[in-house]
């Protein structure tokens, strides 16, 4: 016998029906009653009171399935309802969160009263759909609904959460006109509304002119002061509450401890007083008070004290766990063990049977991102899916960061796409993920989509996009982002200024970068580091060192990134003694351990100065002899000084470490070729062919307007190719008038410069980017072009910027 299989949804429906039959029978069946035959027991009949009791029970249990079954039963038996029963049914849908069904029922009600309107208004308010709350109130007013205190309270709550001060003031006027302004419920709602709308002065005015107040009135105003960061006003109000005999409860003390989370001594002293008061009135172990104390300790960096307090708490709920987990993953970590302890607290929550909230998951994901813990992060993601919270925007941002930090950018993008409400934090996380994975074009494309969606980027979004523009060296797009930051007022934020400096510097405009730095009042270590490194990359070694000394005079302590910029400046400027002194100072005066990049800079510095044996000895004693980066620095110096034997030995070491990287083979080939060792050079080329190593083709590009024009050597694919070659030959003829020996070639950077000479205004500098190091012949030609054409040429290669003006280069031929 064949049986038709049931789907999962059908099985769930049948189970719900069976459960509902038992539920209804438990209320209606007398002792000894046998359930009638039939699928739902629809032979039963109930009166208004029975249906009302059943619906109220469903509401209290928040059991929407049972409530809907009762509603179906009423429809099935064609029961004639009343306004009272319709309101009970409406209240059930609202309290169970099914506002669509509630509004449908409301629209079909033949008779409505004030309770009907209040139920639906309250329902929308409960689930945070405050815009619908206000819209429903205005609709009711147009239909001559006469609001009462509960109506006004619900609408004021909506105005408060939306920050709609104009609507709030209008409701206040209606409250006064209606003669219910003296009721304490509305007093409290008005205080809360004005405080959340930022008009704490009006909130205080309401409290001062009210005759009937309770603890909630004072707590609402106190919470408003704390939320707005008015610490002294918070302390003053708390003292006033005590003097007037207002009963101080856990919420008031919790607000005070939040205010004390600041760093001032005054806050610390008042916090001690408040703690003593909590002990005196027996509230020191209150959950709200303890939670606020934990928050205060964690924000002040007293992690050990917070953990001790947490362990002493007799009652630990989800909110307290959330406070601990979030605080342990804050921006300023005291120890590296804090995120691990946060993860252990999450495990403890699960063992105790507590249900994590959205905030729990977003905080614990932050812990995973701090420790770059991908395995625990995947387990947390599974828990998120189990609780069906993957659409939350804060959790989505944490998941995007998790996968982006671990190089799984496509998985991060899937998390972004599955987020129901993509707020600016989600967009910024995804843009930052693309930048982190060096997919800069996709970062810019996503930023464009953000603008099209109507979202407003914040300072972190703009900073990430500027970083993408910096790495792409697209100054035009970067300037547009800069303009937007100025228009929105984010240009003064330090995080934007830092990215702005990098963006202009990496696009070849060091003057604009210096201007951005000088116009900023609030410098941090990153700002100084950005400008010092930018000057170093552009060959202005003295400017870098002057800025470094100035930074120390201002009291800033240099970090390893700043020292890398200083060492780079010394290397590019040939300042051997200054570089060695800075390297020693880094270890001796600031207790900073040099990494491979610091050692590579010193090796390059020694090598350029001709001290090749000392450079090689430094590599062998540095502890980084297995890193090819440091050997590459020495190989470049070997070519500079023509040390063929050492170059062969160094190149062999590099190819052992990275056998399939072409740059070392190419450099060794050039060393042999320059030394006249054609046979050895051919051997290098044959070895590359045997290993399948291909030379990276040289590519140069110039941005003119919105278009990127790219060239390879002897490239004729450009639409203006004929004119470009004609212009280049004209430029070469101009140089030959002053120079007898000119090496003629059609390398990619020459073609890009020729196009710039043709198209750009005479006053505009020509900025060209190249993926490979510029050759000596082209470097010489750029100097000559800058003199004969009287144009500034900026050429960026992988190592540095070359700024050619008046026949000379900013590198002073030392690169």
Q: Report yes or no on 740 lying in a domain.
A: yes
Helix axes 318-328, 358-370, angle to 10 degrees: 20
Q: What is the pLDDT of residue 16?
A: 45
Torsions phi, psi for 708 (to 5 deg): -100, 120
> Token match 């069946």: residue?
29
pLDDT digits (tens, 9 = 90+) for 13-38: 444 444 444 444 444 433 333 444 44
> Token match 């960026």: residue?
796
Residue 622 CA, distance from chain mean position: 37
Instruction: State which H helix or E strand residue 223 sits in.
Output: helix 215-227
pLDDT of residue 54 exceeding 70, the answer is yes
Q: What is the pLDDT of residue 291?
A: 77
pLDDT digits (tens, 9 = 90+) for 515-569: 999 988 888 999 999 999 999 999 899 999 999 999 999 999 999 999 999 999 9
Categorize the per-residue pLDDT at 336 as very low, low, confident or very high, splitting at 50, 70 and 90: low
If you count them, how many residues does the chain have?
815
Question: Residues 40, 17: contact at Cβ < 8 Å?
Answer: yes
DSSP string, 526-580: HHHHHHHHHHHHTT-HHHHHHHHHHHHHTTPPP-HHHHHHHHHHHHHHT-HHHHH
**Number of structural domains, the chain?**
1
pLDDT of residue 12 exceeding 70, the answer is no
Mark residue 268 as left, alpha or beta (left: phi above 0; alpha: psi -120 to 50; beta: remaining).
alpha
Residue 570: which of 605, 619, 600 has the closest Cα?
605
Q: What is the pLDDT of residue 1?
A: 34
Mark residue 419 as left, alpha or beta (left: phi above 0; alpha: psi -120 to 50; beta: remaining).
beta
pLDDT of residue 505 exceeding 80, the answer is yes
Pairwise CA distance, residues 426 & 428, whole Å: 5
Q: Report yes or no on 773 lying in a domain.
A: yes
Categorize the per-residue pLDDT at 586 as very low, low, confident or very high, splitting at 50, 70 and 90: very high
Q: What is the pLDDT of residue 329?
A: 80
Torsions phi, psi for 770 (to 5 deg): -135, 140
Higher pLDDT, 269 or 457: 457
Question: Residues 656, 687: contact at Cβ < 8 Å?
Answer: no
pLDDT digits (tens, 9 = 90+) for 666-706: 888 888 887 888 888 888 888 888 888 888 888 999 988 87
Q: Report yes or no on 791 lying in a domain.
A: yes
3-state helix, strand, coil in the chain (%, to 5): 65, 5, 30
Domain containing 721 equals: 699-809
The stretch 214-220 carries a mean pLDDT of 91
Provide the mean pLDDT of the chain.
85
Q: Report yes or no on 401 lying in a domain.
A: no
Q: What is the pLDDT of residue 24?
A: 43
Pairwise CA distance, residues 14 & 70, whole Å: 15
Pairwise CA distance, residues 62 & 56, whole Å: 10
Q: Is 711 helix (H, G, I), strand (E, B) or coil?
A: strand
Q: Is 354 helix (H, G, I), strand (E, B) or coil?
A: coil
Query: Where does residue 33 rank: exposed (0-12), middle (13-18), buried (19+ CB within 10 A)?
Result: exposed
Q: What is the pLDDT of residue 567?
A: 95
Q: Report yes or no on 3 lying in a domain.
A: no
Question: Of 192-206, 362-376, 524-538, which range is least confident?
Answer: 362-376
pLDDT of residue 4 exceeding 50, the answer is no
Angle at 642 between CA 641 and CA 646, to 5 degrees: 100
Instruction: State which H helix or E strand residue 212 sits in.
Output: none
Per the confidence metrics, is the pTM higher than 0.75?
no
Q: Report yes or no on 797 lying in a domain.
A: yes
Question: Of 296-300, 386-390, 721-725, which range is least confident?
Answer: 296-300
The percentage of the chain sitting over the pLDDT mark of 70, rounded to a whole number, equals 91
Contacts of 231 (CB under 8 A, 6+ apart): 259, 260, 262, 264, 266, 267
Question: Of 233-247, 249-263, 423-437, 660-674, which range is least confident?
Answer: 249-263
Q: Report yes or no on 622 lying in a domain.
A: no
pLDDT of residue 276 exceeding 80, the answer is no
Q: Report yes or no on 92 lying in a domain.
A: no
The stretch 434-439 carries a mean pLDDT of 91
Higher pLDDT, 293 or 796: 796
């Amino acid at each position: 016998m064949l049986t038709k299989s049931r789907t999962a949804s059908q099985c769930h429906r049948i189970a719900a029906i069976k459960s509902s039959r038992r539920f209804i029978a438990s209320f209606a069946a007398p002792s000894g009653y046998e359930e009638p035959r039939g699928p739902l027991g629809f032979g039963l009949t109930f009166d208004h009171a029975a249906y009302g009791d059943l619906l109220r029970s469903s509401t209290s249990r928040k059991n929407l399935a049972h409530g809907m079954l009762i509603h179906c039963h009423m429809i099935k038996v064609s029961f004639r309802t009343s306004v009272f029963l319709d309101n009970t049914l409406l209240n059930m849908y609202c309290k169970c969160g099914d506002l669509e069904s509630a509004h449908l029922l409301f629209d079909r009600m033949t008779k409505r009263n004030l309770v009907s309107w209040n139920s639906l208004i309250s329902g929308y308010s409960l689930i945070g759909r405050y815009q619908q709350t206000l819209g429903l109130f205005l609709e009711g007013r147009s239909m001559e609904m006469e609001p009462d205190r509960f109506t006004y309270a619900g609408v004021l709550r909506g105005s408060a959460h939306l920050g709609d001060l104009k609507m709030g003031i209008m409701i206040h006027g209606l409250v006064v006109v209606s003669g219910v302004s003296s009721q304490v419920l509305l007093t409290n709602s008005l205080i809360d509304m004005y405080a959340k709308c930022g008009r704490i002065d009006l909130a205080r005015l309401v409290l001062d002119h009210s005759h009937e107040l309770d603890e909630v009135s004072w707590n609402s105003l106190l919470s408003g002061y704390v939320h707005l960061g008015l610490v002294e006003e918070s302390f003053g109000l708390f003292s006033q509450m005590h003097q007037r005999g207002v009963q101080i409860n856990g919420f008031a003390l919790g607000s005070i401890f939040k205010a004390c989370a600041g760093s001032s001594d005054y806050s610390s002293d008042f916090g001690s007083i408040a703690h003593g008061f909590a002990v005196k009135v027996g509230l020191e172990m209150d959950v709200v008070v303890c939670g606020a104390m934990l928050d205060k300790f964690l924000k002040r960096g007293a992690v050990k004290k917070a953990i001790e307090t947490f362990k002493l708490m007799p009652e630990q709920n989800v909110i307290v766990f959330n406070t601990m987990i979030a605080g342990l993953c804050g921006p300023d970590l005291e120890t590296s063990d804090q995120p691990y302890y946060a993860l252990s607290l999450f495990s403890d929550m699960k063992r105790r049977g507590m249900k994590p909230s959205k905030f729990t998951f977003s905080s614990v994901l932050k812990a995973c991102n701090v420790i770059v813990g991908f395995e625990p992060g995947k387990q947390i993601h599974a828990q998120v899916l189990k609780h069906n919270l993957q659409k939350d925007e804060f959790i989505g941002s944490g998941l995007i960061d998790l996968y982006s930090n671990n190089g799984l950018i496509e998985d991060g993008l899937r998390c972004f796409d599955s987020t129901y409400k993509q707020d600016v934090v989600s967009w910024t996380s995804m843009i930052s993920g693309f930048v982190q994975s060096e997919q800069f074009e996709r970062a810019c494309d996503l930023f464009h989509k953000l603008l099209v969606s109507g979202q407003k980027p914040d300072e972190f979004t703009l900073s990430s996009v500027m970083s993408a523009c910096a790495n792409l060296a697209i100054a035009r797009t970067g300037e547009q982002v800069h303009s937007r930051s100025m228009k929105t007022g984010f240009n003064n934020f330090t995080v934007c200024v830092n990215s702005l400096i990098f963006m202009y510097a990496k696009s070849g405009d060091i003057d604009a970068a210096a201007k951005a730095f000088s116009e900023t009042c609030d410098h941090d270590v990153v700002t100084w580091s950005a400008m010092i490194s930018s000057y170093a990359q552009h060959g202005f070694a003295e400017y870098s060192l002057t800025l470094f000394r100035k930074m120390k005079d201002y009291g800033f302590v240099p970090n390893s990134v700043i020292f890398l910029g200083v060492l780079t400046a010394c290397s590019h400027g040939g300042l051997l003694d200054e570089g060695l002194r800075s390297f020693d100072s880094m270890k001796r005066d600031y207790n900073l351990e040099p990494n491979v990049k610091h050692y590579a800079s010193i090796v390059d510095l020694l090598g350029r100065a001709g001290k090749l044996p000392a450079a090689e000895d430094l590599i062998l004693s540095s502890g980084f002899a297995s890193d090819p980066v440091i050997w590459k620095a020495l190989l470049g110096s070997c070519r500079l000084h023509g040390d063929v034997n050492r170059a062969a030995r160094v190149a062999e070491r590099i190819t052992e470490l990275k056998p399939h990287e072409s740059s070392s083979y190419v450099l060794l080939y050039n060393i042999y070729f320059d030394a006249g060792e054609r046979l050895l050079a051919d051997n290098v080329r044959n070895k590359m062919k045997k290993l399948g190593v291909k030379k990276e083709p040289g590519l140069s590009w110039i941005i003119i307007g919105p278009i990127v024009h790219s060239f390879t050597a002897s490239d004729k694919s450009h639409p203006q190719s004929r004119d470009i070659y004609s212009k280049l030959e004209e430029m070469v003829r101009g140089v030959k008038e002053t120079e007898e020996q000119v090496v003629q070639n059609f390398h990619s950077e020459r073609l890009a410069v020729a196009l710039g000479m043709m198209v750009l205004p005479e006053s505009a500098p020509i900025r060209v980017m190249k993926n490979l190091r510029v050759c000596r012949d082209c470097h010489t030609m750029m100097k000559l072009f800058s003199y004969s054409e009287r144009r500034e040429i900026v050429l960026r290669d992988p190592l540095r910027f070359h700024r050619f003006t008046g026949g000379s280069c900013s590198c002073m031929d030392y690169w």
